[in-house]
Structure 1
Amino acid sequence: MLDTVCAGWILLPLGRHPTRHRASRLLQPLIGDDNPAKPRNPGPRNGDDQERGKFARSVLEGSTVALISLFGLGLGGYAYSLFYKRTMRNKIENAFATGYSSQERVALGRISYGTEPDKIQEIVEREYWVPRAEQDVINDVVSGKTRGRYHLVIGERGTGKRALLLEAMRKVNGDGIAMLEAHNDLEVFRTRLGKAIDYEFHEDYIGGLFSIRGPRDSTPLLDIERALNQLEKVALSMRKRRGKPLLMIINNIHLFKDDEAGKHLLEILQQRAEIWAGNELVTTVFTSDEYWTLQRLIPHATNMNVMNIRDVPKDVVNKALQGYRARYHNEHVPQSILDEVFAKVGGRLIFLNQVAKSRDMLDTCIQINRREKSWFLNNCWILGDTMDDDVEEQQKYCAAAIILARALVLRESSATDADQFILPEIPLHEARQIITRADFVQPFDHINVIHIDAHGMVRADSVAMQNAFREVVQENGFEEHLKATLNRLDELESLARTREVAIRDVPGRSGGIVPVQTYCARI
């Protein structure tokens, strides 16, 4: 039994734990010494050397194990990093694959998940029932036939800018397309961009578990820049396989704030759009309702193409509206009704959709005109000569809107072709001269009272808004009310510039009081 114990102990590795050294010393008298020449009781110096040797071997073994562990940990982390980056690029590629993302499905509605082709075609005919002359141009951009440019699609609210893009997306089944909506908050836009291209901004990276400052701890602009960098790498790899550029659509960029942060964001997006368009990597399409975005992009634009989307002409509207009512309402609409509908709402798609699907088209037109007039008066009506001095600045803004509306009404000419009515227009510089202010025209565009197109022409936001202008200007007593408002504003401004100077009473030489003298001066 003692031999078994000794043999088992000899097989154990030496130098692993101090208790094993003590056990070996206890068993030494029983086992004996195999080397008779070696003294049984070594001196103190030989014992210290043996202890130091054993300690050195222990340190060496522990260090080796630690180094191997660190090497394995580093190798595993490096492998995970490569795996994560590869997976991230695959996710971005999948975002541009054929089909639709969740945001695109919401925008397309039932078209994106319909299964029967006949039913999809019926839905398309119901949704896109007005033919557009710009559709072929948009189709070439979305399908990749038009290359080397990036595009700004600008037009009034409700002219069908997004509908044109959605119809083009449907024809290519979303192949190579990512679409997102703009927002005035950079964090929200960062999230929407990541969702559109399926990029997580390293938020799911396991390195975030450590107390190390990670790539997510930064500003939204830096996150957006990182996302665009990854998109550029994916576009380079996909360009060889696809043979045509990817497409990224950013809707409603006028929602970006017109401040420094919004300016920096537009600069980042435009720089990328310029580079990508020149190399045919990604075709970027911006949509906007307001003119200030064009003003921001033009100074640095080299490859930008501006598409101005206008209302649908009258002949197209009459034919489409007549066919829609005959097919889905079994109604033959006379020409007189069609003319009256166009005179009230024009060729604005957002209004025509409401009119075409309503039970009484003329009543819907009247409601639309009433709503537009109410919006204009609630935001821009003047208060006359009884206004308080506290509303002076607000009334200057309203008076400018009323004066501009009157100028647009006066520009209406009886020589205008009644069959193809065109809204009267005023050049932007002339509009500023009429209202004697340069800073009010853009806010009017922002609240959809007027619109400034891509050529710098100012007109009413819609036919319904022009009708509201005409009704207001032609009311009895309008000119007197406007004149009284302007006189009151002049009076308040004059009072603000007038200062009263008074000299206090001072005792005279004879002990009397010098009378007070008051002087008024206009500064």
Structure 2
Amino acid sequence: MRTVQRAVVARPQLVSSLVRGRPLAPRRSHPRPFSQQFGPASNIPGADQDEEEPSKPSKSGPEPKSRLGPTFSRAFEAAMTTFASIAVLGLAGYSYHVYYKSLVLRKIEKAFEPGDPMLELASPAEPHVAPREQPADDTEHWIARPEQAKINTIINGESKGRYYLLIGEKGTGKSSMLLEAMKEKNGEGVSMFEAHADLEIFRIRLGKALNYEYHEDYIGSLFSIRGPRDTTALLDIERAFNKLEKVALAHRNRMGKPGRKGPLILIVNSAHLIRDNEDGNDLIELMQQRAEQWAAANLITMVFNSDDFWVYERLRRYATRMEVIPILDLPKTRAIAALERYRARYFPEQKRDPEILKQVYDLVGGRLNFLNRVAKSSDMLKMCRQINEAEKTWFLNQCGILGEEMDDDVMDQQKYASAAMVLAKALVEREKDMESSYDDEHGHILPQIPLYIARQIMTRADFIQSYDHENIFTIDSRAMVRADSVPMMNAFKEICAEPGFNDYLEATLDRISAIESINRTKELTFKDLWIEQKGEQRGKYSFVTKDARGRETGTIEMRVHPDKPPEEDDD
């Protein structure tokens, strides 16, 4: 832009007045017309002008100078400034985007470094055990299960090309074995999280396990109209698996270098908590597809841990590289050894009686959860009786029958309860037909029925899955149905042995059949059939029957017969 400089000429009167020190008299100004102040060629206030121009230029004088050149110059300068600003902003945004994507991958890699939140949560000491009572080597296994060696090879990355499903009843020690295997390498290369029925919570837990924020911390989202979470939880889980796959590929390329050998491990604990509905099935299908692909490429080994049979049923449909590891109760010898070690840990000063340990096993079986609870109690036999009573109460609360006097409003619940009672009675009768239900070496041998026969006994095919989820009955990997535990089987036998149980169950079943018969019976009532003609009650309805082609096949008539007078007695 041009800078207009004006020459200031000092007037002689102003100079002489300033020199003499006298004030200068104000000069009167006479305003001029607007046309004289701003003529066609004069400069408007605010505009640039090199020198004063005459107020009224001659019409025959030269034309005013064109301003297109300065306009184009200013427009080009503004355009270049805008382009440079956009270029700098775009370069900064792209650089941040590249940096953020690399940061996400580094954060996911950090999730598989030594140390895992699940290990930290499982590490606190028992509050009721004094430090002096802790054994010297607290890292050793309390009980060496035969499945522990297999799980160690999986978690250490030595077993490749497969993905695994751990299935067994609640309290058999599945999660504990996984945590024990993770402790050997301090969780290096392993990430574990708990499943949940809500997909949003499942998404958050997966993100926490993978150290992935689903781009919710992306600064670019502040300038966008649609947020980064404007999607479904299932799509976010797919995005997390995509990022995890990139990390696994980079990890496989570094396998030749010193460090961990084998694929990464992702453990989904408590997979049975996922709902068996459309959303839950979509989630399981998504995870299984990833597990199949990663197992084939030796990228990631997925491990599913479930208490319920339906997860195995759902995965088995499309499984080609899945291996099932059943986790059962301990046999008698191992259970007594585990109980003895538990007892020595909590009460080292007490002497352990082998006969009492055997009685404990006879009452609660080889379930590690029950053995641990019994070992913590001062009176072990009393705790065993409490466990048996609790299992019986649970079964009656869930599946108690109401007998012949039940109301028809509880029809659906009583169908569910009576079917469980029928199946429990069938298991008790099956145990009576067995040659032996107890072995001196193995211990308890619970009676079991194939799944399809159990459905025939109940006359229902949909209840058994709910029983498995409620820990009343269990279905193993061979599709065999039995009581969920030894205390539950003891509850079945006590209930079926009560006086009048068979009659009470039969009355309940008859009442259910009667209500169903009433609901299936339809009553047809005809009105205006009684027409009195000539002193007699007459009336008739005619029905025409037709075949599938619409041809008449016959006629049905319904008439009203007049009432007969009562017969007089001979007397």
Query: If the TM-score is normalised by the length of the shorter chain, which range does it land in?
Result: 0.7 to 0.9
Show structure 2 runs of 5+ residues with no match: 8-42, 54-59, 256-260, 541-557, 561-571
| Alignment of structure 1 residues 35-434 onto 2, 5 Å | 43-44=62-63, 47=65, 49=66, 51-101=67-117, 103-110=118-125, 122-124=137-139, 128-242=141-255, 243-326=261-344, 328-329=346-347, 330-412=349-431, 413-419=434-440, 420=442, 421-434=444-457
Alignment match, 1:461: 484
CA contact (8 A) 1:501 1:518 kept: no
Deviation for aligned residue 1:411: 1.6
Partner residue in 2 for 1:479: 502
Counterpart AA for 1:261: D
Code of the aligned partner of 2:437: T
Aligned position for 1:492: 515
Contact 2:531–2:539 under 8 Å retained in 1: no
Q: Which has the higher helix share?
A: 1
AA at the equivalent of 1:209: L
1:394 aligns to what SS in structure 2? helix
Q: Give, in whole Å, the separation in 1 of the partners of 2:523 and 2:302.
A: 61
Whole-angstrom CA distance in 2 between matches of 1:428 and 1:6: 107
- Please list, as runs of the form range in 1=range in 2, the aligned pairs for 1:15-30 lying within 5 A after superposition: 24-25=48-49, 27-28=50-51
> Aligned partner of 2:120: which letter?
R
- Measure how far apart 1:332 and its partner are: 2.8
Give the whole-Å Cα distance in 1 for the aligned partners of 2:111 and 2:293: 21
Cα separation, partners in 2 of 1:512 and 1:52, compared to 1, 3 Å: farther
SS in 1 for 2:216: coil
Q: 1:514, CA displacement in angstroms? A: 4.9
- Is the contact between residue 104 and residue 212 of structure 2 (CA under 8 Å) also seen in structure 1? yes
Q: Supply the AA of the counterpart residue of 2:107.
A: K
Asked if the contact 2:119–2:183 (Cα under 8 Å) also holds between the matched residues in 1, the reply is: no
Match of 2:523, SS? strand
Q: For residues 124 and 469 of structure 1, do their structure 2 counterparts lie closer, same or farther at Cα, with a shift above 3 Å needed?
A: farther
- Give the Cα separation in 1 of the matches to 2:209 and 2:44: 64
Q: Secondary structure at the match of 1:411?
A: helix
Distance 2:406 2:559 in 1: 29
Q: Is the 8 A contact 1:502 1:518 kept in 2?
A: no
State how far apart, in whole Å, the 1-side matches of 2:138 and 2:45 are.
87
State the alpha-carbon separation in 2 of the partners of residues 256 and 445 from structure 1.
Answer: 14
Greater displacement, 281-290 / 314-323: 314-323
* Letter matched to residue 466 of structure 2: P
1:108: how far off? 3.9
List per-residue Cα deviations over 1:146-172 (Å, max 9, x = no partner). 111000000001111100000000111
**For the structure 1 residues 119 and 86, does the alpha-carbon distance in structure 2 shift closer, same or farther, using more than 3 Å as the test?**
farther
- Provide the secondary structure at the position in 1 that maps to 2:254: helix
Distance 1:172 1:42, change over 3 A: farther
Q: CA distance change for structure 1 residues 211 and 42 in 2, over 3 Å: closer, same or farther?
A: farther
The aligned residue for residue 450 of structure 1 is 473
Distance 2:410 2:478 in 1: 34
Shift of 1:214: 4.4
Q: Distance in 1 between matches of 2:448 and 2:362?
A: 17
Instruction: Name the SS for the 1:508 alignment partner.
Output: strand
Q: What residue in structure 1 maps to residue 20 of structure 2?
A: none
State the 1:66 CA deviation.
0.1
Taking a change above 3 Å as real, the CA distance of residues 324 and 218 of structure 1, as seen in their structure-2 partners, is closer
Alignment partners' CA distance in 2, 1:22 and 1:457: 98
**How big is each residue's C-alpha offset from its partner over 1:317-351, in whole Å with a ceiling of 9 and x where there is no partner?**
11232244345422333232122111111111111
* Cα distance in 2 for residues equivalent to 1:109 and 1:6: 87
Paired amino acid for 2:270: N
Task: Output one character per residue of 1:361-419: Cα deviation in whole Å (capped at 9) or x when no partner.
Answer: 00110111110000000000111111111112211111110011111111213523432
Secondary structure at 1:383's aligned position in 2?
coil
Give me the whole-angstrom Cα distance separating, in 2, the residues matched to 1:203 and 1:332.
Answer: 59
Q: Which residue of 2 aligns with 1:14?
A: none
- Identity, in percent, stands at 49
For the 8 Å contact 2:114–2:189, the answer to whether it is kept is yes
Contact 1:108–1:166 at 8 Å: present in 2 too?
Answer: no
Which whole-Å CA distance do the structure 2 matches of 1:300 and 1:69 have between them? Answer: 55
Q: Secondary structure at 1:500's aligned position in 2?
A: coil
CA change 1:326–1:93 in 2 (3 A) is: closer
Matched residue SS, 1:141? helix
Q: Deviations over 1:197-228 (max 9, x none)?
A: 00000101111112332443111111000000
1:232 match: secondary structure = helix
> Is contact 1:451–1:460 with CA below 8 Å preserved after alignment?
yes
- d(CA) in 2 for partners of 1:513, 1:110: 93
Q: TM-score, length-normalised on structure 2?
A: 0.80
For this pair of structures, how many residues does the alignment match? Answer: 484
Partners of 1:4 and 1:297 in 2: CA distance: 86
How far, CA to CA, are the matches of 2:44 and 2:248 in structure 1? 64
